[in-house]
């Protein structure tokens, strides 16, 4: 229903690392929580690390967004156009979603289970299990993520694989909260760069 799409609030995820070979010092530097702010079809993801924080903003209606990095007092922002998002999706892996009747409760919300299978063989893990809820908004917010673009709800329990590292994200709290559109815009004081300049700088 239309009402569900208007969820406004903040979801906090606990991050755990599945890679047992990880150097303890490295692990100490890694983020332990991820914050997701949602207002209708806008979403903001915030991850804080030892050196600073990264924020990714996405507007599913216009299919645009930005990445903000605040690192040791230096603030950089990269805007992404809908064309750039389209290209990322096109370049992303081919995935198949297998839905299941299994459910589990995460952070007080009933979640459905889905298995995401990656079909391009480039990732070591070709299957990921996600639990998502339809009570907190539409799957439109996943549109920018090639892996999870077909999940039609907010994921409350899932994994992210980067290089050889698996981050497991589990929602620990969901709080309804009002945000203004300004909360999803690039704040003042950020050096706005093009995608290519930004990528040269941060890899």
Q: Which residue has the tokens 């950089």?
A: 76
More confident residue, 164 or 101: 101
Q: Report pLDDT for 121.
A: 58
Q: Report pLDDT for 1.
A: 39
DSSP 20: T
More confident residue, 163 or 21: 21
How far, CA to CA in Å, does 139 sit from each of 29, 40, 121, 135, 202? 31, 11, 25, 11, 29
pTM above 0.85, yes or no: yes
pLDDT digits (tens, 9 = 90+) for 8-31: 999 999 999 977 677 888 888 889
pLDDT digits (tens, 9 = 90+) for 106-151: 999 999 999 998 876 555 557 889 999 999 987 899 988 888 999 9
């Amino acid at each position: 229903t239309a009402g569900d799409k208007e969820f406004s609030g903040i979801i906090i995820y606990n991050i755990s690392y599945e890679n047992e070979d990880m150097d303890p010092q490295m692990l100490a530097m890694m983020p332990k929580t991820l914050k997701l702010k949602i207002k209708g079809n806008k979403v903001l993801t915030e991850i804080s690390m030892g050196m600073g924080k990264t924020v990714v903003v996405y507007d599913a209606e216009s299919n645009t967004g930005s990445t903000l990095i605040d690192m040791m007092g230096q603030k950089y922002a990269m805007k992404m156009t809908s064309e750039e998002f389209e290209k990322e999706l096109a370049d992303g892996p081919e995935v198949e979603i297998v839905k299941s009747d299994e459910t589990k409760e995460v952070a007080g919300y009933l979640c459905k289970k889905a298995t995401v299978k990656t079909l391009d063989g480039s990732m070591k893990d070709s299957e990921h299990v996600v639990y998502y809820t339809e009570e907190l908004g539409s799957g439109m917010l996943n549109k920018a993520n090639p892996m999870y673009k077909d999940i039609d709800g907010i994921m409350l329990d899932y994994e992210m694989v980067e290089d050889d590292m698996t981050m497991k994200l589990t929602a620990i709290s969901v709080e309804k909260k009002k945000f203004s559109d300004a909360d999803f815009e690039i704040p003042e004081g950020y050096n706005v760069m093009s995608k290519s300049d930004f990528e040269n700088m941060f890899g």
